[in-house]
Amino acid sequence: MAARHTSPAAKIGFWLLVAVLLVILLFPFYYAVITSFKSGSAIFEVDYLPAALSAGNYTSIFAEQPFGRNILNSLVVSVAVVGISLFLGLTAALALGRFRFKGRRMMLLAVLSVSMFPQVAVLSGMFELIRVLGLFNNPGGLILSYLIFTLPFTVWVLTSFIRDLPAEVEEAAIMDGAKPWTLLTRIFLPMMWPAMVTTGLLAFIVAWNEFLFALTFTLSNDQRTVPVAIALITGGSEFEVPWGRIMAASVIVTVPLIALVLIFQRRIVSGLTAGAVKG
């Protein structure tokens, strides 16, 4: 109704606001991209349009330090975190969402409360734990510690999602002879793709961008993940901050995230359960 009667002025205003919003959101990233293609002292000139493109920063981060190795570390850690979180989250969600047992609420609250502590509070305890387990300076230590952040929301989101799935579909499968494992993999899992993709993506982003634990639990350059590696990129002297290379590295690590979101945005569809019950 309202859309039909909007005046041209209102339309222009609307798009103007959209433009302002986009500029605010995208300008920092745009500027990072431009800066990453500059070389030498051109970095300190303020340009809003790319002048001369130079890939020097991109080649030098791979040449002067193990940045490829850092990306691989990040990838291994993030993928493992996503995989473990989703597996544990899904099995926990099935138990918490579909079965009644004593202490179920308590357990859900306990899971949630884990995520309330600030990172610094668990840092020293976590450090001891990782040393005892022999995971210091090892991607395994990061994977273990990142589960602290990813499991609570994974369990919660998947639990509430699984609880909303129609019970009769589950019962129909039981009547059809499905055992719990079949039920999980053949019935629940396909219906839960939207929730799995969303939580998996969030877990990936958390693991990919995490800094504090990665800084504390790794020592050598070739065990570091990208956020730490970027922060520790050094210039020729202690007075030089190599902005160009930092920007180039940032752009490189942002691209996978953007790609993931673009790939999976089609799968983040609601209404996958439409048709199961009367709709």
Residues in contact with another protein by CB under 8 A are: 166, 168-169, 171-178, 182, 186-187, 190-191, 271-279
Choice between 160 and 182, CB closer to another protein? 182
**In the complex, minimum distance from the CB of residue 83 to another protein, in angstroms, rounded to a whole number:** 22
What does the block give as tokens for 192? Answer: 């839960």
User: What totals of helices (H) and strands (E) does the chain contain, helices first?
Assistant: 13, 0
Q: How far apart are the C-alpha atoms of 226 and 85, rounded to whole Å?
A: 21
User: What is the residue type of 58?
Assistant: Y
Least separation, in Å, of the C-beta of 278 and another protein? 5
Q: How many CA atoms lie within 13 A of 44 on its CB side?
A: 5
- Three-state secondary structure call for residue 277: strand
Q: At closest approach, how far in Å is the CB of 264 from another protein?
A: 17
Q: Are 90 and 189 in contact (CB under 8 A)?
A: yes
Closest approach of Cβ 35 to another protein, in Å?
Answer: 46
Q: Residue 119 contacts by C-beta under 8 Å, 6 or more apart in sequence?
A: 212, 213
Closest CB 110 distance from another protein, rounded Å: 26
251 close to 230: Cβ distance less than 8 angstroms: no
Q: Give 54 or 273: the residue with its C-beta nearer to another protein.
A: 273
- Closer to another protein by Cβ: residue 93 or 226: 93
Query: Which neighbouring-strand residues pair with 277?
Result: 274
The residue (of 181 and 239) whose beta carbon lies closer to another protein is 181
Identify which of residues 131 and 267 has a Cβ nearer to another protein in the complex.
267
